[in-house]
Structure 1
Amino acid sequence: MGSKLSGKDLIKLGFPQNNTVNIALGQIHRYRKREKKERILLEAKEVLQKPDSFLGDGIWGKVAEGLIKPVEVRMQQLRNTRAPFTIFGENEIDELAKRQLYDALKLPVAVKGALMPDAHGGYGLPIGGVLATDNAVIPYGVGVDIGCRMSLSIFDIPGSYIKGKSFQLRNMLSEHTKFGMNETHKIKNDHAIFECAAFREIPLLKSLRDKAYRQLGSSGGGNHFVEFGIVHLQTCKPEWNLRPGEYLAILSHSGSRGLGANIAKHYTYLATKQCPLPRQVQHLAWLDLNTHDGQEYWIAMNLAGDYAKACHDDIHRRLAKALGKRPVVTIENHHNFAWEEVVDGKKVVVHRKGATPAAEGVLGIIPGSMTAPGFIVEGKGNPYSLQSASHGAGRRLSRGACKNSITKSDLTKTLDMYGVELIGGAVDEAPMAYKDIHKVINLQEELVRVLGQFTPKIVRMDKG
């Protein structure tokens, strides 16, 4: 069996007596341990003789890289000075979030940064943090929920429709949305994403494909939601074929489910091994995009982002079918992702962890809370924010603080006051947990222009 294969066997084949042997044993143990030793040794010999032919291979690519140009592993030191940065709404942001950004700006790969007015502390980069890096991607700069995003469907149905149909709409949300770890749809919809080559060629993704298939069209726990509400359009784009006014809409917030979480965990582990950092910034370990693992993470991250979009598309398709209407406008955006962009004339990797892309003319949604409006926005392309905006109102209270200070009765009274129905949900997502969205939007007038608002009316969340 492959698990009995030893380093001596590889050295006998001609492998150099260095870390390449350990890499090869690690890959074999992880992905090929059930196969016969003889077969693995035949493949290993082929890799040794023609390593160029195996670059990029899901199993042997990392070994081939070690034979041609091993990844240099050395303790990284922070710079004494920070890369340039701008903070928007500084007085609304806690000190932990600022400190986390300051640490990130001292990384040797940091080029420029920004902090959005909804920012609060996180792991690695703060939530609401934006960081441009030189040819490096930081898994925790993207976040655990890769491709977490907003999606808004607007229907050519008057907003007043919701008053007489709230019972039916509530039932639609109960029947056609699934949340949390255990709920999945009985009838699955096929999607082209499952034919993606990465699901076949990258062993980690191959092992996650079935779970991703089961979870398609479901939403996570925490602050993820699907809502029926009323959109008030102040300004309409010509291609929308709508007039300013009030319309029925569906807004959803969720990410890449177990697929993204497992990708984040796996590649964060690899990053910490390849890029040792001082303890206080170890969550900011990066992968060089010129390495096998860096390229593989980039492929996996993009797949997770596409999968998150596929989940939202499935959610909206199911609800639109139940409504018997097709949306006339769809607006959507990621907010936990990394993009290759040009900043100050240089190609860099821009991480937006809990931040909305806001290049000139780019549309996005910035939600408030269960009782506060969300905003449909158009980016202004501000270079100081690295063409970014906030991803929401931002937390004012931690989940623990909510559980200690807010009762279920407090939550119910607040929802009744605003005429909002809630299915599921918990006190740690109570409206009182969040900053004032109106203040947060006013603090980024330089970053986005407001085209309209979404007011939640029937909200579905995980049971909590």
Structure 2
Amino acid sequence: MPRLQLTGKELRAIGYPQGPVISLAMNIMEKNFRHLAKTDALEILSSILQSPNQYAHDGVLNKIAEALLPKPKAGGDELPLAEKGIDFNVFGAGGIEQGALHQMYTATKLPVAVAGALMPDAHHGYGLPIGGVLATENAVIPYGVGVDIGCRMCLSIFDINPKELADREHFFTRELNEATLFGSGSTFQKAADHEVMYRKEFDELGLLKGLQDRAWKQLGSSGSGNHFVEWGIVEIKEKDQVLGVEAGTYVGLLSHSGSRALGANVANHYTKVAKEKRRLPGDAVNLAWLSLDEQEGVEYWMAMNLAGDYASACHHVIHEKIAKQLGRKPLKMVENHHNFAWKENREGKEVIVHRKGATPAGKDVLGIIPGSMAAPGFVVKGKGEMSSVNSASHGAGRKMSRTAALKTVTHKELNEVLAKQGVKLLGGGLDEAPFAYKDIHEVMKAQSSLVETVGVFFPKIVKMDGAQPKRWKKKNRDENSRDLLMGE
């Protein structure tokens, strides 16, 4: 059997920074995984790059993770946290794990924190919990946004009889398979075109310039984990003036993905910078911030916004490809980020609102809150509730870690629930089974004061990453931790 051989060029192509970490990673992989297929080895390296913290205790891969993690500056005083954090509201408290609550309590002790809230789908993450909302004064926290900057939902509503999803299932399946690529390292041989790739930020920031070629090759791709593109049935019981679609039943195309390697590299780079500038104690170390008055903060803000626009462009490329094949334009497109930071006004003052796995829910702001591959999603309109910092959940939220799902859920159980709901699954795995998620109806009930439902989406043909989880992904994982790429 041929032995594994990697090149620096291959590692740089998946986003590894130029430097000693490339040689280190090549040596460790070639020594310890000598008989592994190159594609699997690169997938492992890509996962470490995106989520180095999750490999800090791996007896083999920890050296690569350590080389990727930011090194705090020697010397300098550690910044203290407030003894008591600012008050924050918790929605659906009965279904939220203690780890997420603890992370939120820590975040509210930051000296820059001014408001916060925890959504009913919240669970443990890095920095802010997933489902955490934090408003700060003139400061942005890279891990308060998350690794997958601009991860978002996009729904196109087509005036097509839903009966066609069954009658022409082969056609709709083929369009999903041909419209996008899944997998953490996936790239197109022929790049799509979009105005976002000509943005001046690629020339103005050295970090972005080095990421532009790969971003172009990934434009219109969808990633892995809980990212998906799916066909479904949209039900609108009565016309809402903001949504602007007549009551009826329609075909919907729904996608969920983020900014791919571009966003991950921006997040990791500026988290390192933030940690070097501001040393924080223990549990707060991943909440290091950048001031918007300093050059690094301005750079991150530019890069974050570009990554968010790039994520949006990825969705638009997919939806436009499929609309062209359908030969029609959607009646309505609804979309929203749920990993981002916004400048917003609160009590007459500008604040930076971080929503890490949370949907913007300002007054009459439209958004999409998905359930799972076999549970409905909801098209919602925000009520502008100040107590939630104008936010709502970004989905049902996990109640079971990926490792736990792989250990407890069977293919028979998954197939039975898919059949019961009339869902065809393309790709996907047991770690994304509906049983791993909270009851979306309970989540929606817990946030009835935050959003109004204006439409319901029922998945019917679901396309996800078809790669099977590897054993190395489960090894030495903390059961309470979540995959950064998938949840943040």
On whether the aligned pair clears a TM of 0.5, the verdict is: yes
The answer as to 2:139 corresponding to 1:136 is: yes
Structure 2 equivalent of residue 441 of structure 1:
444
Q: Distance in 1 between matches of 2:164 and 2:185?
A: 33
Over aligned residues, Cα RMSD in angstroms?
1.5
Kindly indicate whether the alpha-carbon contact (under 8 Å) linking 1:120 and 1:395 is maintained by their aligned counterparts in 2: yes
Question: 3-state DSSP class of the match of 2:159?
Answer: strand
- Measured after TM superposition, the shift of residue 343 of structure 1 is 1.6
Q: Distance in 2 between matches of 1:135 and 1:74?
A: 22
Instruction: Decide whether aligned partners of structure 1 residues 73 and 161 sit closer, same or farther in structure 2, where only a CA change above 3 A counts.
Output: farther
Q: 2:217 aligns with which of 199, 207, 214?
A: 214
Structure 2 equivalent of residue 88 of structure 1:
91
Taking structure 1 as the reference length, the TM-score comes to 0.83
Structure 2 equivalent of residue 386 of structure 1:
389
The 5-angstrom pairing of residues 201-350 of structure 1 reads: 201-238=204-241, 242-350=245-353
Deviation per CA, 1:229-285: give whole Å up to 9, x if none.
000012334476642111001000000000000000000000110010012110111
Letter aligned with residue 198 of structure 1: E
Kindly indicate whether the alpha-carbon contact (under 8 Å) linking 1:174 and 1:460 is maintained by their aligned counterparts in 2: yes
The answer as to 2:166 corresponding to 1:163 is: yes
Letter aligned with residue 135 of structure 2: A
Deviation per CA, 1:275-297: give whole Å up to 9, x if none.
10012110111111111101100
Kindly indicate whether the alpha-carbon contact (under 8 Å) linking 1:84 and 1:111 is maintained by their aligned counterparts in 2: no
Structure 2 equivalent of residue 397 of structure 1:
400
Deviation per CA, 1:352-398: give whole Å up to 9, x if none.
00000000000000000001000000000000000000000000101
Structure 2 equivalent of residue 173 of structure 1:
176
Q: Distance in 2 between matches of 1:372 and 1:312?
A: 22
Instruction: Decide whether aligned partners of structure 1 residues 139 and 108 sit closer, same or farther in structure 2, where only a CA change above 3 A counts.
Output: same
Question: 3-state DSSP class of the match of 1:179?
Answer: coil
- Measured after TM superposition, the shift of residue 73 of structure 1 is 5.9
Structure 2 equivalent of residue 148 of structure 1:
151
Kindly indicate whether the alpha-carbon contact (under 8 Å) linking 1:222 and 1:462 is maintained by their aligned counterparts in 2: yes
Moved more, 314-323 or 248-257: 314-323
Question: 3-state DSSP class of the match of 1:131?
Answer: strand
- Measured after TM superposition, the shift of residue 407 of structure 1 is 2.0
Q: Distance in 1 between matches of 2:378 and 2:414?
A: 23
Kindly indicate whether the alpha-carbon contact (under 8 Å) linking 2:243 and 2:366 is maintained by their aligned counterparts in 1: no
Q: 5+ residue gaps in structure 2?
A: 1-17, 20-74, 468-488
Question: Percent same amino acid among aligned pairs?
Answer: 55
Q: Distance in 2 between matches of 1:419 and 1:452?
A: 20
Q: Distance in 1 between matches of 2:399 and 2:93?
A: 14
Deviation per CA, 1:47-68: give whole Å up to 9, x if none.
xxxxxxxxxxxxxxxxxxxxxx
Question: 3-state DSSP class of the match of 1:218?
Answer: coil
Kindly indicate whether the alpha-carbon contact (under 8 Å) linking 1:73 and 1:274 is maintained by their aligned counterparts in 2: no
Q: Distance in 2 between matches of 1:89 and 1:181?
A: 32
Structure 2 equivalent of residue 103 of structure 1:
106
Structure 2 equivalent of residue 458 of structure 1:
461
Instruction: Decide whether aligned partners of structure 1 residues 159 and 401 sit closer, same or farther in structure 2, where only a CA change above 3 A counts.
Output: same
Instruction: Decide whether aligned partners of structure 1 residues 97 and 239 sit closer, same or farther in structure 2, where only a CA change above 3 A counts.
Output: closer
Q: 5+ residue gaps in structure 1?
A: 1-28, 31-71
Structure 2 equivalent of residue 429 of structure 1:
432
Moved more, 401-410 or 421-430: 401-410
Q: Distance in 2 between matches of 1:335 and 1:383?
A: 18
Moved more, 125-134 or 175-184: 175-184
Question: 3-state DSSP class of the match of 1:158?
Answer: coil
Kindly indicate whether the alpha-carbon contact (under 8 Å) linking 1:152 and 1:249 is maintained by their aligned counterparts in 2: yes
Structure 2 equivalent of residue 122 of structure 1:
125
Structure 2 equivalent of residue 13 of structure 1:
none
- Measured after TM superposition, the shift of residue 221 of structure 1 is 0.5
Deviation per CA, 1:302-333: give whole Å up to 9, x if none.
00000000000001011111222211100000
Q: Distance in 2 between matches of 1:421 and 1:225?
A: 13
Taking structure 2 as the reference length, the TM-score comes to 0.79
Q: Distance in 2 between matches of 1:310 and 1:125?
A: 26
Q: Distance in 1 between matches of 2:401 and 2:296?
A: 34
Structure 1 equivalent of residue 194 of structure 2:
191
Letter aligned with residue 214 of structure 1: K
Structure 2 equivalent of residue 20 of structure 1:
none
Instruction: Decide whether aligned partners of structure 1 residues 362 and 241 sit closer, same or farther in structure 2, where only a CA change above 3 A counts.
Output: closer
- Measured after TM superposition, the shift of residue 410 of structure 1 is 2.1
Letter aligned with residue 446 of structure 2: L
Q: Distance in 2 between matches of 1:216 and 1:390?
A: 27
Structure 2 equivalent of residue 367 of structure 1:
370
Moved more, 304-313 or 277-286: 277-286
Letter aligned with residue 179 of structure 2: H
Instruction: Decide whether aligned partners of structure 1 residues 280 and 159 sit closer, same or farther in structure 2, where only a CA change above 3 A counts.
Output: same
Q: Distance in 2 between matches of 1:295 and 1:239?
A: 34
Letter aligned with residue 184 of structure 2: M
Question: 3-state DSSP class of the match of 2:441?
Answer: helix
Moved more, 325-334 or 178-187: 178-187
Letter aligned with residue 207 of structure 1: G
Rg (Cα) greater in structure: 1
Q: Distance in 1 between matches of 2:243 and 2:164?
A: 20
Letter aligned with residue 267 of structure 1: Y
Q: Distance in 1 between matches of 2:108 and 2:175?
A: 46
- Measured after TM superposition, the shift of residue 432 of structure 1 is 0.4
Instruction: Decide whether aligned partners of structure 1 residues 292 and 463 sit closer, same or farther in structure 2, where only a CA change above 3 A counts.
Output: same
Q: Distance in 2 between matches of 1:114 and 1:205?
A: 32
Letter aligned with residue 253 of structure 2: I
Question: 3-state DSSP class of the match of 2:250?
Answer: strand
Question: 3-state DSSP class of the match of 2:371?
Answer: coil
